[in-house]
Amino acid sequence: MSSETVKNRGWIVAIAGLTINLALGILYTWSIFKDRISQSIKEGGEGAFTWSESSLNDPYAVCILVFAFSMILAGKLQDKKGPRVTALIGGILVGIGFIILSFTTSYSLWILGFGVLAGMGIGFGYSAATPPALKWFPSSKTGLIAGVVVSGFGVAPVYIAPLATYLVDSFGIHKAMLIFGILFIVVISGAAMFLVNPPAGYIPQDNSPKSSTKKNLSVKDSTASQMMKTSHFYLIWFIFFIGSGAGLMVIGSISGLAKKSMGDAAFIAVAIMAIGNASGRIIAGILSDKIGKVWTLLIILLFQATLMFVSIPLVNGDATAIVIVLLATFIGFNYGTNLSLFPSFSKAIWGMKNFGINYGILMTAWGLGGFIFSRISQTLFAKTGNHNISFIIAGSSLLLCAVLIFILNKMLNKESTKTVIL
């Protein structure tokens, strides 16, 4: 089917996916909610939170874990029923989760509301946003489109961080959760109406200069079981696990790190970090389309490892606000690249037919990485009062992954049909 008759639908779908991710990016403002809960614990009194210090990251960590694993179910639903239904379910789940939070200080109910329900809703919404957009565009634009759609998730704190701070200060944390819950249902449900897959047989036109010089490649559509029988899947999974875990560890604590030098304006660090997060997704997508996904990922891993080690003396000294903000921005940038590179890997290696469930399975690396690294970070901080060991563990792991990139490249080059696209 000619792409001329529906040539504009691709960008409509991409913008709808971007809008959904702009709402779902509430995950990255957890550090603001965590600080308010911590403040309530210290102040005490009637109606105060009574959690332990080491458990403050638990709703965030559980949310990440549930988000990732729910994408397997959501991806399967998206492949069979389409993105619209999947996104609608996601918006309702996130909304209900936040509405529950508006009535309680209970640790268990916050795990349920933010961790389980919101986490599952984010997984459903996120899994529905990218696949339909990628299907409307040729492979030469995979990195760019994936980067644009998922950039909404990363840039969301630019507006959600100050909005959350304002709502919590003005109405209290519980009413703020109620407002967010209602907004999520309305915004995500509305944007979901514009998510649609291209018609059967649709072939996107590729007018890029490189398209005429590349081999005419046909990527085999692999099922989830076929994908999981390949050794390079597990290597890609592990690298995703480390790359995302290291970034989420910092993102979940950035408000606390910034508070020492920025005080109540710490939310600015969260917002500016989000710009880095979003731009990393777009720039890495564009760069991967130019030089390849493998080499783009290698550059990012080395950069992120360097930042982790550099962070140790900075966050434990009397770092100025500008230093903290720059550090957060670059770490956010590097972390964000993962969320455009790995869906591109999935499409390039295993095809689009089963993209939803295949990428959902791969996303378990993101969830486990965020859960384990953020839990370790919070536990070590509660015991030592600093993030030194956490940064050392993260930096060392990233260096290991940089070495593994060469093994991955060797594996992929054995499949001659993949060398041009990777």
Q: 87-109: per-residue pLDDT in tens?
A: 999 999 999 999 999 998 899 99
Q: Could you tell me which of 26, 361, 329 has the C-alpha nearest to residue 187?
A: 26
Q: How far is CA 127 from the centre of its chain?
A: 11
Q: 389-405: per-residue pLDDT in tens?
A: 888 888 899 999 999 99
| Number of neighbours of residue 415 by Cβ within 10 angstroms | 13
pTM: 0.75
Q: How many helices (H) and strands (E) does the chain have?
A: 18, 0
Ordered by where they begin, the domains of the chain are: 4-199+219-416 (1.20.1250.20)
Average pLDDT for the chain: 82
Q: Is 279 helix (H, G, I), strand (E, B) or coil?
A: helix
Q: 42-60: per-residue pLDDT in tens?
A: 888 777 888 887 788 889 8
**Rounded-to-integer distance, Cα 223 and Cα 268, Å:** 43
- In DSSP notation, 284-335 reads HHHHHHHH-HHHHHHHHHHHHHHHHHHHHHHHHTT--HHHHHHHHHHHHHHH
For the chain, the 3-state helix, strand and coil shares in percent, each to the nearest 5, are 80, 0, 20
**Rounded-to-integer distance, Cα 229 and Cα 237, Å:** 13
Residue whose tokens read 């060469």 = 406
Q: What is the DSSP letter of 199?
A: P
> 132-164 burial by CB neighbour count: b if 16+ within 10 A, else e?
bbbbbbbbbbbbbbbbbbbbbbbbbbbebbbbb
pLDDT of residue 265: 66
Q: 286-325: per-residue pLDDT in tens?
A: 888 788 888 899 999 999 899 888 877 776 666 677 777 7
Q: Could you tell me which of 293, 356, 345, 315 has the C-alpha nearest to residue 129?
A: 356
Q: Could you tell me which of 398, 279, 345 has the C-alpha nearest to residue 134?
A: 345
> Between the CA atoms of 161, 165, 171 and 177, what dihedral angle is there, to the nearest 10 degrees?
30
pLDDT of residue 164: 86
Going by pLDDT thresholds of 50, 70 and 90, the confidence category of residue 238 is very high
Q: Could you tell me which of 187, 198, 177 has the C-alpha nearest to residue 11?
A: 198
Q: 189-201: per-residue pLDDT in tens?
A: 999 999 988 877 7
| Number of neighbours of residue 350 by Cβ within 10 angstroms | 24
> Between the CA atoms of 3, 292, 13 and 179, what dihedral angle is there, to the nearest 10 degrees?
180
Q: 105-140: per-residue pLDDT in tens?
A: 899 999 999 999 999 999 999 888 888 888 888 777
Q: Could you tell me which of 127, 126, 138, 137 has the C-alpha nearest to residue 11?
A: 137
- As a whole number of Å, the end-to-end CA separation of the chain is 27
- 120 exposure class (CB count in 10 Å sphere: 0-12, 13-18, 19+): buried
Q: 260-289: per-residue pLDDT in tens?
A: 666 666 667 767 777 887 888 888 888 887
